[in-house]
Amino acid sequence: MKALCWQGVNELSVEQVPDPAILNAQDAIVKVTASTTCGSDLHLLGGYIPAMRAGDVIGHEFIGEIVEVGPEVNRHRAGDRVVVCSIIGCGRCWACRHDEWSLCENSNPKPGITDLMWGGTTAGIFGYSHAMGGFRGSHAEYIRVPFVDYNAFTVPEGVSDIDALFASDAAPTGWMGAELGGVKPGDVVAVWGCGAVGQMAARAAMLLGAERVIAIDRYPERLAMTARHVGCEVIDYTSTDVTAELRERTGGRGPDVCVEAVGMEADSTGMQRVYDGVKQQLRLEQDRPIAVREAIHACRKGGSVFVLGVFAGFVDKFPLGALMNKGLTLRGAQQHGQRYIPKLLDRIGKGDLKTSYLATHTMSLDEGPKGYDMFKHKKDGCVRAVFRPWA
Amino acid sequence: MKRLVAGAAVLAAAGLGMARWAASRGRVPSPAKDPLEAGRWLGVTINRPPDEVAPSGHLPEPLARVDAEVRMNKAPGDRGTELYARPRQHRAGADGVFARLRGEDPRTVVRTALRETKSLLETGDVLRSDEEIGTTRPTVPGKVLDMALGRASEGGRL
Protein backbone atom coordinates (compact mmCIF):
# COMPACT_ATOMS: atom_id res chain seq x y z
CA MET A 1 0.00 0.00 0.00
CA LYS A 2 0.95 3.65 -0.27
CA ALA A 3 2.13 5.59 2.81
CA LEU A 4 3.85 8.84 3.75
CA CYS A 5 7.14 8.00 5.45
CA TRP A 6 9.64 9.90 7.58
CA GLN A 7 13.06 9.47 6.01
CA GLY A 8 15.19 11.75 8.17
CA VAL A 9 15.23 15.28 9.53
CA ASN A 10 12.88 17.33 7.31
CA GLU A 11 12.68 14.53 4.74
CA LEU A 12 9.42 12.84 3.81
CA SER A 13 8.51 10.60 0.89
CA VAL A 14 5.57 8.57 -0.33
CA GLU A 15 6.49 4.89 -0.45
CA GLN A 16 5.02 1.47 -1.11
CA VAL A 17 5.05 -0.43 2.20
CA PRO A 18 3.60 -3.79 3.30
CA ASP A 19 -0.09 -3.73 4.21
CA PRO A 20 -0.85 -3.74 7.95
CA ALA A 21 -2.24 -6.91 9.47
CA ILE A 22 -4.26 -8.03 12.48
CA LEU A 23 -1.58 -8.81 15.08
CA ASN A 24 -3.80 -9.02 18.17
CA ALA A 25 -7.31 -10.43 18.46
CA GLN A 26 -8.73 -7.02 19.50
CA ASP A 27 -7.30 -5.22 16.43
CA ALA A 28 -9.08 -3.85 13.40
CA ILE A 29 -7.81 -2.69 10.03
CA VAL A 30 -9.16 0.71 8.99
CA LYS A 31 -9.22 2.04 5.45
CA VAL A 32 -8.14 5.65 5.95
CA THR A 33 -10.44 8.14 4.22
CA ALA A 34 -8.90 11.34 5.63
CA SER A 35 -5.80 12.05 7.70
CA THR A 36 -4.48 15.44 8.70
CA THR A 37 -1.18 17.07 9.58
CA CYS A 38 -0.72 18.09 13.21
CA GLY A 39 1.67 20.58 14.75
CA SER A 40 3.21 17.82 16.83
CA ASP A 41 4.29 16.09 13.59
CA LEU A 42 6.60 19.03 13.00
CA HIS A 43 8.59 17.99 16.06
CA LEU A 44 9.12 14.60 14.41
CA LEU A 45 10.11 16.25 11.17
CA GLY A 46 12.55 18.54 12.94
CA GLY A 47 14.26 15.64 14.67
CA TYR A 48 13.21 16.71 18.16
CA ILE A 49 11.38 13.49 19.03
CA PRO A 50 13.78 10.58 19.61
CA ALA A 51 13.38 7.05 18.33
CA MET A 52 12.28 7.69 14.74
CA ARG A 53 13.49 5.28 12.05
CA ALA A 54 13.87 6.00 8.35
CA GLY A 55 10.73 4.59 6.74
CA ASP A 56 8.38 5.13 9.68
CA VAL A 57 4.82 5.97 8.58
CA ILE A 58 3.66 9.20 10.25
CA GLY A 59 0.22 10.73 10.95
CA HIS A 60 -2.11 10.23 13.91
CA GLU A 61 -5.32 12.22 13.35
CA PHE A 62 -7.66 10.33 11.05
CA ILE A 63 -11.02 8.90 10.07
CA GLY A 64 -11.84 5.85 8.03
CA GLU A 65 -13.86 2.72 7.47
CA ILE A 66 -13.28 -0.56 9.26
CA VAL A 67 -12.54 -3.29 6.72
CA GLU A 68 -11.43 -6.16 8.97
CA VAL A 69 -11.75 -7.00 12.67
CA GLY A 70 -9.97 -9.47 14.91
CA PRO A 71 -11.86 -12.38 16.52
CA GLU A 72 -12.24 -10.62 19.90
CA VAL A 73 -13.68 -7.33 18.63
CA ASN A 74 -17.20 -6.85 19.97
CA ARG A 75 -18.33 -3.27 19.40
CA HIS A 76 -17.35 -2.75 15.77
CA ARG A 77 -17.62 -4.57 12.49
CA ALA A 78 -16.53 -4.12 8.90
CA GLY A 79 -18.25 -1.17 7.28
CA ASP A 80 -18.33 1.07 10.36
CA ARG A 81 -17.34 4.67 9.63
CA VAL A 82 -15.11 5.58 12.55
CA VAL A 83 -12.99 8.37 13.91
CA VAL A 84 -10.02 6.96 15.82
CA CYS A 85 -8.35 8.58 18.82
CA SER A 86 -4.69 9.38 18.16
CA ILE A 87 -3.84 7.97 21.60
CA ILE A 88 -4.16 4.20 22.05
CA GLY A 89 -5.85 3.04 25.24
CA CYS A 90 -6.50 -0.50 26.46
CA GLY A 91 -9.71 0.59 28.20
CA ARG A 92 -9.21 -1.62 31.24
CA CYS A 93 -6.15 -0.53 33.22
CA TRP A 94 -6.59 1.80 36.18
CA ALA A 95 -5.64 4.88 34.14
CA CYS A 96 -8.12 4.14 31.32
CA ARG A 97 -10.86 3.29 33.84
CA HIS A 98 -10.28 6.72 35.36
CA ASP A 99 -10.46 8.47 31.97
CA GLU A 100 -6.74 9.21 31.87
CA TRP A 101 -6.30 7.43 28.58
CA SER A 102 -2.94 8.88 27.56
CA LEU A 103 -1.51 7.26 30.70
CA CYS A 104 -2.63 3.78 29.59
CA GLU A 105 -0.46 1.08 31.10
CA ASN A 106 -0.89 -1.60 28.43
CA SER A 107 -0.77 0.10 25.03
CA ASN A 108 2.93 0.86 24.64
CA PRO A 109 4.92 -2.26 23.73
CA LYS A 110 8.19 -0.30 24.09
CA PRO A 111 7.87 1.04 27.65
CA GLY A 112 11.59 1.26 28.32
CA ILE A 113 12.12 4.45 26.31
CA THR A 114 9.49 6.67 27.90
CA ASP A 115 10.37 5.19 31.26
CA LEU A 116 13.94 6.33 30.76
CA MET A 117 12.95 9.80 29.55
CA TRP A 118 10.10 10.53 31.95
CA GLY A 119 10.23 8.05 34.81
CA GLY A 120 7.03 6.36 33.69
CA THR A 121 5.42 4.65 30.76
CA THR A 122 2.76 6.42 28.72
CA ALA A 123 0.25 5.23 26.14
CA GLY A 124 1.04 4.22 22.60
CA ILE A 125 0.41 6.82 19.88
CA PHE A 126 -0.12 6.21 16.17
CA GLY A 127 2.79 7.32 13.99
CA TYR A 128 4.70 8.97 16.77
CA SER A 129 8.04 7.21 17.05
CA HIS A 130 9.15 3.92 18.51
CA ALA A 131 9.20 5.54 21.96
CA MET A 132 5.41 5.64 21.71
CA GLY A 133 5.14 1.99 20.74
CA GLY A 134 6.31 1.82 17.15
CA PHE A 135 2.78 1.98 15.72
CA ARG A 136 2.37 2.95 12.10
CA GLY A 137 0.80 6.29 11.31
CA SER A 138 -2.38 7.19 9.48
CA HIS A 139 -0.98 8.89 6.40
CA ALA A 140 -1.52 5.65 4.55
CA GLU A 141 -4.21 3.74 2.73
CA TYR A 142 -4.74 1.39 5.67
CA ILE A 143 -3.85 1.34 9.35
CA ARG A 144 -4.03 -1.23 12.13
CA VAL A 145 -6.02 -0.01 15.16
CA PRO A 146 -5.28 -1.93 18.40
CA PHE A 147 -7.97 -2.32 21.06
CA VAL A 148 -10.41 -0.98 18.48
CA ASP A 149 -13.45 -1.36 20.75
CA TYR A 150 -12.02 1.41 22.94
CA ASN A 151 -10.25 3.61 20.41
CA ALA A 152 -12.63 3.91 17.46
CA PHE A 153 -15.93 5.80 17.58
CA THR A 154 -18.73 5.44 15.07
CA VAL A 155 -19.40 8.73 13.33
CA PRO A 156 -23.08 9.73 13.53
CA GLU A 157 -25.15 10.14 10.38
CA GLY A 158 -25.07 13.73 9.22
CA VAL A 159 -21.53 14.46 10.44
CA SER A 160 -19.15 14.75 7.49
CA ASP A 161 -15.76 13.07 7.31
CA ILE A 162 -13.92 16.38 7.56
CA ASP A 163 -16.00 17.56 10.52
CA ALA A 164 -15.42 14.28 12.36
CA LEU A 165 -11.73 14.12 11.43
CA PHE A 166 -10.76 16.74 13.98
CA ALA A 167 -12.54 14.81 16.74
CA SER A 168 -9.57 12.43 16.50
CA ASP A 169 -7.11 14.82 18.12
CA ALA A 170 -7.39 18.62 17.74
CA ALA A 171 -10.86 18.99 19.24
CA PRO A 172 -10.44 16.65 22.25
CA THR A 173 -6.96 18.02 22.92
CA GLY A 174 -8.29 21.56 23.00
CA TRP A 175 -11.28 20.55 25.07
CA MET A 176 -9.05 18.80 27.58
CA GLY A 177 -6.90 21.92 28.01
CA ALA A 178 -9.91 24.02 28.87
CA GLU A 179 -11.64 21.42 31.05
CA LEU A 180 -8.62 20.18 33.00
CA GLY A 181 -7.30 23.74 33.13
CA GLY A 182 -10.36 24.33 35.28
CA VAL A 183 -12.30 26.80 33.13
CA LYS A 184 -15.58 27.75 34.78
CA PRO A 185 -18.32 30.27 34.11
CA GLY A 186 -17.11 33.85 34.40
CA ASP A 187 -13.44 33.08 33.84
CA VAL A 188 -11.05 34.99 31.63
CA VAL A 189 -9.03 32.51 29.58
CA ALA A 190 -5.93 33.13 27.47
CA VAL A 191 -4.79 30.62 24.86
CA TRP A 192 -1.29 30.70 23.40
CA GLY A 193 -1.30 29.48 19.78
CA CYS A 194 -3.99 29.79 17.11
CA GLY A 195 -3.34 26.50 15.37
CA ALA A 196 -6.15 23.97 15.25
CA VAL A 197 -5.61 22.83 18.85
CA GLY A 198 -5.43 26.39 20.19
CA GLN A 199 -8.61 27.33 18.35
CA MET A 200 -10.38 24.28 19.71
CA ALA A 201 -9.18 25.13 23.23
CA ALA A 202 -10.51 28.67 22.85
CA ARG A 203 -13.87 27.41 21.60
CA ALA A 204 -14.04 24.86 24.41
CA ALA A 205 -13.38 27.58 26.98
CA MET A 206 -16.30 29.57 25.58
CA LEU A 207 -18.60 26.53 25.62
CA LEU A 208 -17.55 25.82 29.23
CA GLY A 209 -18.76 29.28 30.19
CA ALA A 210 -15.70 31.53 30.10
CA GLU A 211 -16.76 35.17 30.01
CA ARG A 212 -13.81 36.28 27.92
CA VAL A 213 -11.36 34.28 25.82
CA ILE A 214 -8.21 35.81 24.36
CA ALA A 215 -6.09 33.92 21.80
CA ILE A 216 -2.48 34.79 21.00
CA ASP A 217 -0.47 34.19 17.81
CA ARG A 218 1.55 36.08 15.22
CA TYR A 219 0.08 34.95 11.89
CA PRO A 220 -2.58 37.42 10.68
CA GLU A 221 -4.59 34.77 8.84
CA ARG A 222 -4.73 32.53 11.93
CA LEU A 223 -5.71 35.44 14.16
CA ALA A 224 -8.42 36.43 11.69
CA MET A 225 -9.65 32.82 11.42
CA THR A 226 -9.82 32.54 15.21
CA ALA A 227 -11.72 35.79 15.58
CA ARG A 228 -14.14 34.78 12.82
CA HIS A 229 -14.82 31.12 13.63
CA VAL A 230 -14.20 30.93 17.38
CA GLY A 231 -15.51 34.39 18.11
CA CYS A 232 -12.95 35.35 20.75
CA GLU A 233 -10.54 38.26 21.20
CA VAL A 234 -7.05 37.95 19.69
CA ILE A 235 -3.59 39.38 20.31
CA ASP A 236 -0.76 39.58 17.77
CA TYR A 237 2.31 39.05 19.94
CA THR A 238 4.61 40.69 17.38
CA SER A 239 2.88 44.02 17.85
CA THR A 240 2.56 44.26 21.62
CA ASP A 241 3.78 43.10 25.02
CA VAL A 242 1.46 40.14 25.66
CA THR A 243 1.73 40.17 29.46
CA ALA A 244 1.05 43.91 29.64
CA GLU A 245 -1.78 43.59 27.14
CA LEU A 246 -3.41 40.82 29.17
CA ARG A 247 -3.09 42.81 32.40
CA GLU A 248 -4.66 45.81 30.71
CA ARG A 249 -7.57 43.71 29.47
CA THR A 250 -8.18 42.05 32.85
CA GLY A 251 -8.20 44.86 35.36
CA GLY A 252 -4.56 44.19 36.24
CA ARG A 253 -5.23 40.60 37.37
CA GLY A 254 -4.20 38.46 34.44
CA PRO A 255 -6.18 35.53 33.00
CA ASP A 256 -7.72 33.00 35.38
CA VAL A 257 -6.75 30.11 33.12
CA CYS A 258 -3.84 30.07 30.66
CA VAL A 259 -3.72 27.32 28.03
CA GLU A 260 -0.44 26.80 26.19
CA ALA A 261 -1.07 25.25 22.76
CA VAL A 262 2.30 25.84 21.13
CA GLY A 263 4.83 23.23 22.24
CA MET A 264 8.53 22.71 22.02
CA GLU A 265 9.23 24.87 18.96
CA ALA A 266 7.72 28.10 20.24
CA ASP A 267 8.67 31.37 18.61
CA SER A 268 8.86 34.86 20.03
CA THR A 269 10.26 38.24 19.29
CA GLY A 270 13.52 39.31 20.88
CA MET A 271 16.51 37.59 22.43
CA GLN A 272 14.58 34.82 24.16
CA ARG A 273 13.98 33.10 20.81
CA VAL A 274 17.69 33.34 19.94
CA TYR A 275 18.72 32.00 23.35
CA ASP A 276 16.38 29.01 23.25
CA GLY A 277 17.04 28.36 19.58
CA VAL A 278 20.80 28.07 20.11
CA LYS A 279 20.42 25.90 23.19
CA GLN A 280 17.96 23.62 21.41
CA GLN A 281 20.15 23.17 18.32
CA LEU A 282 23.10 22.30 20.56
CA ARG A 283 20.84 19.89 22.49
CA LEU A 284 21.57 21.78 25.70
CA GLU A 285 17.81 21.91 26.12
CA GLN A 286 15.38 19.79 24.14
CA ASP A 287 12.41 22.15 24.06
CA ARG A 288 11.81 25.89 23.68
CA PRO A 289 9.34 26.72 26.46
CA ILE A 290 8.80 30.35 25.50
CA ALA A 291 5.00 30.29 25.59
CA VAL A 292 4.97 28.33 28.86
CA ARG A 293 7.18 30.94 30.52
CA GLU A 294 4.93 33.73 29.28
CA ALA A 295 1.76 31.96 30.39
CA ILE A 296 3.15 31.50 33.89
CA HIS A 297 4.12 35.15 34.12
CA ALA A 298 0.82 36.37 32.70
CA CYS A 299 -1.48 34.15 34.76
CA ARG A 300 -3.30 35.75 37.68
CA LYS A 301 -2.23 34.86 41.22
CA GLY A 302 -3.81 31.56 42.18
CA GLY A 303 -4.68 30.80 38.56
CA SER A 304 -4.14 27.75 36.41
CA VAL A 305 -1.79 26.97 33.52
CA PHE A 306 -2.37 23.98 31.27
CA VAL A 307 0.37 22.77 28.91
CA LEU A 308 -1.22 21.28 25.78
CA GLY A 309 1.75 21.74 23.46
CA VAL A 310 4.03 18.73 23.10
CA PHE A 311 7.30 18.76 25.02
CA ALA A 312 9.84 15.93 25.01
CA GLY A 313 12.50 16.58 27.60
CA PHE A 314 14.30 19.27 29.51
CA VAL A 315 13.93 23.04 29.36
CA ASP A 316 15.97 25.95 30.62
CA LYS A 317 14.97 29.05 32.60
CA PHE A 318 11.73 27.58 33.84
CA PRO A 319 10.05 30.18 36.11
CA LEU A 320 9.53 27.93 39.11
CA GLY A 321 9.71 30.92 41.44
CA ALA A 322 6.75 32.58 39.75
CA LEU A 323 4.82 29.33 39.75
CA MET A 324 5.38 28.75 43.45
CA ASN A 325 5.05 32.29 44.77
CA LYS A 326 1.94 33.12 42.72
CA GLY A 327 0.30 29.91 43.90
CA LEU A 328 -0.36 28.62 40.39
CA THR A 329 -1.63 25.21 39.40
CA LEU A 330 0.31 23.69 36.49
CA ARG A 331 -1.03 20.69 34.58
CA GLY A 332 -0.35 19.03 31.28
CA ALA A 333 -1.12 15.85 29.37
CA GLN A 334 -1.28 14.18 26.05
CA GLN A 335 -4.95 14.09 25.18
CA HIS A 336 -7.36 11.78 26.98
CA GLY A 337 -9.38 11.69 23.78
CA GLN A 338 -11.64 8.73 24.53
CA ARG A 339 -13.05 10.78 27.40
CA TYR A 340 -14.28 13.52 25.07
CA ILE A 341 -14.79 12.16 21.55
CA PRO A 342 -18.40 10.92 21.93
CA LYS A 343 -19.66 14.22 23.34
CA LEU A 344 -17.61 16.21 20.84
CA LEU A 345 -19.16 14.27 17.94
CA ASP A 346 -22.51 15.10 19.49
CA ARG A 347 -21.64 18.80 19.71
CA ILE A 348 -20.32 18.77 16.13
CA GLY A 349 -23.56 17.16 14.99
CA LYS A 350 -25.60 19.84 16.77
CA GLY A 351 -23.48 22.64 15.32
CA ASP A 352 -22.08 23.82 18.70
CA LEU A 353 -18.57 23.04 17.56
CA LYS A 354 -17.35 23.80 14.04
CA THR A 355 -14.22 22.05 12.85
CA SER A 356 -14.24 21.63 9.06
CA TYR A 357 -12.96 25.17 8.47
CA LEU A 358 -9.61 24.04 9.93
CA ALA A 359 -9.01 21.94 6.80
CA THR A 360 -7.59 24.76 4.74
CA HIS A 361 -5.92 22.48 2.19
CA THR A 362 -7.14 19.08 1.00
CA MET A 363 -4.94 16.96 -1.24
CA SER A 364 -3.99 13.43 -2.23
CA LEU A 365 -1.59 11.31 -0.21
CA ASP A 366 0.92 11.63 -3.07
CA GLU A 367 1.11 15.32 -2.23
CA GLY A 368 2.04 14.58 1.39
CA PRO A 369 5.54 16.11 1.32
CA LYS A 370 4.12 19.24 -0.32
CA GLY A 371 1.34 19.36 2.30
CA TYR A 372 3.84 19.26 5.15
CA ASP A 373 5.97 21.93 3.49
CA MET A 374 2.93 24.19 3.28
CA PHE A 375 1.89 23.35 6.83
CA LYS A 376 5.31 23.84 8.34
CA HIS A 377 5.96 27.16 6.64
CA LYS A 378 2.32 28.36 6.91
CA LYS A 379 2.25 28.83 3.14
CA ASP A 380 -1.00 30.04 1.61
CA GLY A 381 -2.49 30.38 5.09
CA CYS A 382 -2.27 26.64 5.71
CA VAL A 383 -3.70 25.69 9.11
CA ARG A 384 -4.20 22.00 8.39
CA ALA A 385 -3.41 19.95 5.28
CA VAL A 386 -5.75 16.98 4.93
CA PHE A 387 -4.76 13.95 2.88
CA ARG A 388 -7.41 11.81 1.16
CA PRO A 389 -5.65 8.53 0.27
CA TRP A 390 -8.55 7.24 -1.85
CA ALA A 391 -9.74 10.47 -3.47
CA MET B 1 22.89 22.96 8.14
CA LYS B 2 20.85 19.85 7.35
CA ARG B 3 23.95 17.71 7.90
CA LEU B 4 24.68 19.48 11.16
CA VAL B 5 21.18 18.77 12.41
CA ALA B 6 21.33 15.19 11.14
CA GLY B 7 24.65 14.77 12.92
CA ALA B 8 23.15 16.10 16.10
CA ALA B 9 20.28 13.66 15.70
CA VAL B 10 22.76 10.80 15.34
CA LEU B 11 24.56 11.94 18.47
CA ALA B 12 21.24 12.23 20.30
CA ALA B 13 20.29 8.72 19.22
CA ALA B 14 23.69 7.44 20.31
CA GLY B 15 23.26 9.26 23.58
CA LEU B 16 19.87 7.65 24.02
CA GLY B 17 21.39 4.24 23.48
CA MET B 18 24.19 4.93 25.92
CA ALA B 19 21.78 6.38 28.45
CA ARG B 20 19.54 3.34 28.05
CA TRP B 21 22.51 1.11 28.66
CA ALA B 22 23.57 3.17 31.66
CA ALA B 23 20.03 3.17 33.01
CA SER B 24 19.82 -0.56 32.49
CA ARG B 25 22.99 -0.97 34.49
CA GLY B 26 21.56 1.33 37.12
CA ARG B 27 18.39 -0.68 37.44
CA VAL B 28 20.08 -4.06 37.39
CA PRO B 29 23.35 -3.52 39.23
CA SER B 30 25.76 -6.19 40.29
CA PRO B 31 24.75 -7.77 43.61
CA ALA B 32 28.31 -7.31 44.82
CA LYS B 33 27.96 -3.54 44.46
CA ASP B 34 24.42 -3.19 45.72
CA PRO B 35 23.03 -6.25 47.44
CA LEU B 36 19.90 -4.37 48.47
CA GLU B 37 19.03 -3.52 44.85
CA ALA B 38 19.64 -7.06 43.66
CA GLY B 39 17.11 -8.37 46.17
CA ARG B 40 14.56 -5.65 45.64
CA TRP B 41 11.05 -6.73 44.66
CA LEU B 42 9.76 -5.75 41.22
CA GLY B 43 6.09 -4.82 41.36
CA VAL B 44 3.08 -4.04 39.20
CA THR B 45 -0.37 -2.93 40.21
CA ILE B 46 -3.07 -4.88 38.41
CA ASN B 47 -6.56 -3.46 38.12
CA ARG B 48 -8.14 -6.73 39.26
CA PRO B 49 -8.95 -8.10 42.75
CA PRO B 50 -6.45 -10.55 44.30
CA ASP B 51 -8.72 -13.58 43.81
CA GLU B 52 -8.64 -12.95 40.05
CA VAL B 53 -4.89 -12.44 39.93
CA ALA B 54 -4.10 -15.82 41.49
CA PRO B 55 -7.30 -17.90 41.66
CA SER B 56 -6.88 -20.83 44.10
CA GLY B 57 -3.27 -19.76 44.50
CA HIS B 58 -2.37 -20.47 40.88
CA LEU B 59 0.00 -17.89 39.41
CA PRO B 60 -0.74 -16.47 35.95
CA GLU B 61 1.16 -18.21 33.16
CA PRO B 62 3.83 -15.58 32.44
CA LEU B 63 4.93 -15.62 36.09
CA ALA B 64 4.45 -19.36 36.60
CA ARG B 65 7.14 -20.13 34.03
CA VAL B 66 9.91 -17.98 35.58
CA ASP B 67 12.06 -18.91 38.54
CA ALA B 68 10.98 -16.22 40.99
CA GLU B 69 9.65 -15.57 44.45
CA VAL B 70 6.19 -14.05 44.24
CA ARG B 71 3.98 -12.22 46.71
CA MET B 72 0.86 -10.12 46.37
CA ASN B 73 -1.48 -7.94 48.40
CA LYS B 74 -4.57 -5.84 47.87
CA ALA B 75 -3.60 -2.41 46.59
CA PRO B 76 -4.72 0.66 48.56
CA GLY B 77 -7.39 2.95 47.22
CA ASP B 78 -9.35 0.37 45.25
CA ARG B 79 -6.52 0.04 42.76
CA GLY B 80 -6.67 -3.73 42.53
CA THR B 81 -3.73 -5.94 43.42
CA GLU B 82 -0.05 -5.24 43.98
CA LEU B 83 1.86 -8.17 42.51
CA TYR B 84 5.56 -8.51 43.34
CA ALA B 85 8.27 -10.86 42.12
CA ARG B 86 12.04 -11.18 42.29
CA PRO B 87 14.36 -13.77 40.76
CA ARG B 88 15.66 -16.57 42.94
CA GLN B 89 19.03 -16.46 41.19
CA HIS B 90 21.37 -13.61 40.36
CA ARG B 91 24.01 -13.46 37.66
CA ALA B 92 26.93 -11.26 38.56
CA GLY B 93 30.13 -10.05 36.89
CA ALA B 94 30.86 -10.90 33.26
CA ASP B 95 28.13 -13.53 33.28
CA GLY B 96 25.64 -10.86 34.30
CA VAL B 97 26.83 -8.51 31.56
CA PHE B 98 26.44 -11.18 28.87
CA ALA B 99 23.06 -12.19 30.28
CA ARG B 100 21.87 -8.60 29.98
CA LEU B 101 23.16 -8.36 26.41
CA ARG B 102 21.30 -11.55 25.50
CA GLY B 103 18.13 -10.40 27.26
CA GLU B 104 18.48 -13.25 29.76
CA ASP B 105 19.14 -11.24 32.88
CA PRO B 106 16.92 -12.75 35.59
CA ARG B 107 15.53 -9.40 36.70
CA THR B 108 14.74 -8.49 33.08
CA VAL B 109 12.97 -11.82 32.62
CA VAL B 110 10.90 -11.25 35.76
CA ARG B 111 10.14 -7.66 34.76
CA THR B 112 8.83 -8.82 31.37
CA ALA B 113 6.77 -11.58 33.00
CA LEU B 114 5.16 -9.10 35.39
CA ARG B 115 4.30 -6.71 32.59
CA GLU B 116 2.78 -9.48 30.47
CA THR B 117 0.85 -10.79 33.46
CA LYS B 118 -0.66 -7.38 34.09
CA SER B 119 -1.63 -6.93 30.44
CA LEU B 120 -3.13 -10.42 30.13
CA LEU B 121 -5.18 -10.05 33.30
CA GLU B 122 -6.43 -6.59 32.42
CA THR B 123 -6.95 -6.87 28.66
CA GLY B 124 -6.71 -10.57 27.84
CA ASP B 125 -3.77 -9.96 25.52
CA VAL B 126 -0.23 -8.55 25.22
CA LEU B 127 -0.15 -5.84 22.61
CA ARG B 128 2.28 -6.29 19.73
CA SER B 129 4.06 -3.48 17.91
CA ASP B 130 3.63 -2.77 14.19
CA GLU B 131 7.41 -3.16 13.96
CA GLU B 132 6.74 -6.84 13.25
CA ILE B 133 5.72 -5.84 9.74
CA GLY B 134 8.39 -3.25 9.21
CA THR B 135 8.37 -0.28 6.91
CA THR B 136 11.80 1.01 7.91
CA ARG B 137 15.05 0.83 6.00
CA PRO B 138 18.54 0.31 7.47
CA THR B 139 20.55 3.45 8.27
CA VAL B 140 23.52 4.16 10.53
CA PRO B 141 21.47 6.18 13.05
CA GLY B 142 18.84 3.46 12.83
CA LYS B 143 21.37 0.83 13.86
CA VAL B 144 22.27 2.87 16.92
CA LEU B 145 18.63 3.30 17.74
CA ASP B 146 17.99 -0.41 17.29
CA MET B 147 20.42 -1.07 20.15
CA ALA B 148 18.13 0.89 22.43
CA LEU B 149 14.88 -0.35 20.91
CA GLY B 150 15.95 -3.96 21.14
CA ARG B 151 15.70 -3.75 24.91
CA ALA B 152 12.89 -1.21 25.12
CA SER B 153 10.14 -3.81 25.44
CA GLU B 154 11.84 -5.22 28.53
CA GLY B 155 11.96 -1.93 30.40
CA GLY B 156 9.26 0.07 32.05
CA ARG B 157 8.83 1.24 35.58
CA LEU B 158 8.90 -1.83 37.76
Taking an 8 Å cut-off on Cβ atoms, the answer to whether A105 and B118 are in contact is yes
A36 interfaces chain B, CB cutoff of 8 Å: no
A55 interfaces chain B, CB cutoff of 8 Å: yes
The answer to whether B149 and B20 have CB atoms below 8 angstroms apart is: no
Q: What is the tens place of the pLDDT at every residue in A290-302?
A: 999 999 999 999 9
DSSP string, A183-246: --TT-EEEEE--SHHHHHHHHHHHHTT-SEEEEEES-HHHHHHIIIII--EEEETTSS-HHHHH
ipTM > 0.90 (yes/no): yes
- Chain B residues with CB inside 8 Å of A119's CB? 157
Using alpha carbons, select from A222, A169, A92 the residue that is nearest to residue A337. Answer: A169
Task: Write the DSSP symbol of residue A302.
Answer: T
In a mutagenesis test of the A interface, which of B83, B100, B125 is the best target, namely the one with the most A β-carbons within 10 Å? Answer: B125
Name the region of A88 (left: φ>0; alpha: ψ -120 to 50; beta: rest): beta
Which residue in chain A is spatially nearest to B79 when comparing CA positions? A94
Specify burial of residue A299 (Cβ count, 10 A radius: 0-12, 13-18, 19+).
buried
Cα(A124)–Cα(A86) distance, integer angstroms: 9
Taking an 8 Å cut-off on Cβ atoms, the answer to whether A113 and B128 are in contact is no
Count of CB atoms situated within 10 Å of the CB of A274: 10
Using alpha carbons, select from A97, A101, A67, A104 the residue that is nearest to residue A82. Answer: A67
Distances A199 to A188, A229, A267, B87 between C-alpha atoms, Å = 16, 9, 18, 52
Using alpha carbons, select from A111, A132, A129 the residue that is nearest to residue A121. Answer: A111
DSSP string, A123-135: -EEBTS-GGGT-B
Cα(B130)–Cα(B144) distance, integer angstroms: 20
- Output the tens digit of pLDDT for each of chain B's 158 residues: 344 444 444 444 444 444 444 444 444 444 445 566 778 999 999 999 999 999 998 988 899 999 999 999 999 999 999 999 999 987 777 777 777 777 778 888 999 999 999 999 999 999 999 988 889 888 877 777 777 777 676 665 55
A-B contacts (CB, under 8 Å): 158
Cα(B13)–Cα(B34) distance, integer angstroms: 29
Residue B10, pLDDT score:
42
Q: What is the tens place of the pLDDT at every residue in A59-94?
A: 999 999 999 999 999 999 999 999 999 999 999 999
Using alpha carbons, select from A37, A49, A24, A8 the residue that is nearest to residue A388. Answer: A37
Distance from CA of B81 to the nearest CA of A (A): 11
Taking an 8 Å cut-off on Cβ atoms, the answer to whether B156 and A55 are in contact is no
Q: What is the tens place of the pLDDT at every residue in A19-51?
A: 999 999 999 999 999 999 999 999 999 988 888
Taking an 8 Å cut-off on Cβ atoms, the answer to whether A9 and B6 are in contact is yes
Cβ neighbors of A346 (< 8 A, separation 6 or more) are A156
Residue A154, pLDDT score:
98
Radius of gyration of chain A from its Cα atoms, rounded to whole angstroms: 20
Cα(B150)–Cα(B125) distance, integer angstroms: 21
Can you give the pTM of this predicted structure?
Answer: 0.90
Q: Phi and psi (nearest 5°) for B101?
A: -60, -35
Radius of gyration of chain B from its Cα atoms, rounded to whole angstroms: 18
Distance from CA of A290 to the nearest CA of B (A): 21
Using alpha carbons, select from A142, A141, A135, A140 the residue that is nearest to residue A52. Answer: A135
- Chain B residues with CB inside 8 Å of A124's CB? 127
Cα(B99)–Cα(B107) distance, integer angstroms: 10
Distance from CA of A67 to the nearest CA of B (A): 18
Distance from CA of B82 to the nearest CA of A (A): 12
